[in-house]
């Protein structure tokens, strides 16, 4: 019977079989694709409904809020939330153009600002505040000569020893000695200041928010308390101090100090000088650090451009080369 079929019938049967196979294969592919799509959508739904997704969204939201409040202080359309009133943090000081404020600026040694600032500290501030981290030798070459610093150190008696008999003794100060404290201990300091402890001024510029601007504003910002503000006895009103009530009374008045160079000793001038001195005391290596920084920037910038040139010179040939593959010819 097969022998009676024509060649056209065989071709038609072959075409029909290929069409059926194509239909079945297409239906399998469609079913597979549908199954994969359904599986992926179900996996996304399960992740969206999981605790991990909730925790991720919560962390992202909390992080965004924290970063926004860090940049701008408050959230939009929401009032400020504080455990205390903003006035308890003190009035924000103004920004003053200090001679050493810029990235390339140094202390003004030509005008002897640090020397005048030390004079204000010695004659006014040293009665209550210590300067534990500054030795007499630190003044040499900055505000005083070696002989001047040696004479000032010898005016102070330091306890030393023990001697050959095992006893402590008093001796004149040396350049290696640190500046003396006004009180022997913390209890004596509090007893002499109605319970308040005068802070050490070695790092006061770095220890207070606002730095030099805050200390200058504090020294020159004493005013009478406004209406409705009660200050208890023994306290003084200063809007720049947190809470407004400060134990330290106003200490700078016009003409309180007589400068050696004839500079008028106004309140603002004395405050500027002593703040500059305290800025230097907080960072005696200030000028040297900036000098090293400039040298480092110049050196590393030169090395950076030199490294780019060497990299292009050495690797340019390798990166721009053309690799051609020539298959071996078959020899018969």
Cα 64–Cα 70–Cα 72 angle in degrees, nearest 5: 100
Three-state DSSP at 40 gives helix
Distance CA 40, CA 42 (A): 5
pLDDT at res. 326:
86
| The pLDDT of residue 82 is above 90 | no
In 3D, which of 310, 312, 313 has the Cα closest to residue 302?
310
**Per residue in 129-144, is it b (16+ CB within 10 Å) or e — as a string?**
bbbeebbbbbbbebbb
Known binding-site residue numbers:
125, 128-129, 248
Tens of pLDDT, residue by residue over 191-200, are: 999 899 999 9
Known binding-site residue numbers for heme c:
125, 128-129, 248
Higher pLDDT, 288 or 43: 288
pLDDT confidence of 2, banded at 50, 70, 90? very low
In angstroms and rounded to an integer, the radius of gyration of the C-alpha atoms of the chain is: 40
Lowest mean pLDDT among 83-92, 241-250, 287-296, 309-318: 83-92
Contacts 24+ apart (CB under 8 A), 233-241: 234/194, 239/90, 239/91, 240/90, 240/91, 240/93, 240/214, 241/90
- Cβ neighbours, 10 Å, residue 34: 10
Tens of pLDDT, residue by residue over 225-283, are: 998 888 988 899 999 999 899 999 999 999 999 999 999 999 999 999 999 999 999 99
For range 61-72, the mean pLDDT: 79
The per-type count for the chain, helices as H runs and strands as E runs, is: 9, 4
Crossing angle of helices 267-282 and 113-123, rounded to 10°: 100
pLDDT at res. 3:
43
Tens of pLDDT, residue by residue over 101-122, are: 988 899 998 889 999 999 999 9
Structure token digits, residue 98:
């200090």
Q: What is the DSSP string of 74-127?
A: S-TTS----SS-GGGG-PPPPP---TT-STT----TTTTHHHHHHHHHHHTGGG
| The pLDDT of residue 27 is above 60 | no
Query: Backbone phi, then psi, for 237, in 5-degree steps?
Result: -95, 130
| Residue 176 CB-half CA count within 13 A | 0
Q: Reply yes or no: is the peptide bond before residue 162 cis, omega within 30 of 0.
A: yes
Structure token digits, residue 185:
């201990």
Three-state DSSP at 138 gives helix
pLDDT at res. 31:
43
């Amino acid at each position: 019977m097969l022998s009676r079929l024509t060649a056209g019938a065989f071709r038609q049967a072959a075409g029909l079989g290929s069409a059926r196979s194509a239909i079945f294969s297409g239906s399998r592919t469609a079913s597979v694709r549908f199954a994969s799509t359904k599986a992926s959508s179900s996996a996304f739904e399960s992740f969206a409904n999981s605790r991990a997704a909730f925790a991720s969204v919560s962390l992202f939201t909390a992080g965004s809020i924290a970063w926004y409040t860090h940049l701008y202080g408050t959230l939009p359309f929401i009032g400020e939330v504080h455990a205390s009133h903003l006035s308890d943090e003190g009035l924000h000081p103004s920004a003053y153009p200090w001679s050493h404020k810029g990235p390339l600026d140094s202390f003004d040694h030509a005008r002897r600002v640090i020397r005048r600032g030390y004079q204000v500290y010695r004659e006014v501030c040293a009665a209550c505040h210590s300067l534990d981290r500054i030795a007499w030798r630190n003044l040499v070459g900055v505000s005083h000569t070696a002989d001047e610093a040696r004479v000032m150190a010898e005016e102070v008696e330091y306890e030393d020893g023990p001697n050959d008999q095992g006893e402590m003794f008093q001796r004149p100060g040396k350049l290696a000695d640190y500046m003396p404290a006004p009180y022997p201990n913390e209890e004596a300091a509090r007893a002499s200041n109605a319970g308040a402890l005068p802070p050490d001024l070695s790092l006061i510029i770095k220890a207070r928010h606002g730095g030099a601007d805050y200390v200058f504003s504090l020294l020159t910002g004493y005013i009478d308390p406004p209406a409705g503000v009660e200050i208890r006895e023994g306290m003084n009103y200063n809007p720049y101090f947190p809470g407004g009530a400060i134990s330290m009374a106003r200490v700078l008045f016009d003409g309180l100090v007589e400068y050696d160079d004839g500079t008028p000793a106004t309140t603002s001038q004395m405050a500027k000088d002593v703040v500059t001195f305290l800025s230097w005391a907080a960072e005696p290596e200030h000028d040297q650090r900036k000098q090293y920084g400039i040298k480092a920037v110049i050196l590393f910038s030169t090395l950076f451009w030199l490294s780019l040139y060497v990299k292009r010179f050495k690797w340019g040939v390798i990166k721009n080369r053309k690799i051609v593959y020539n298959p071996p010819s078959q020899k018969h």
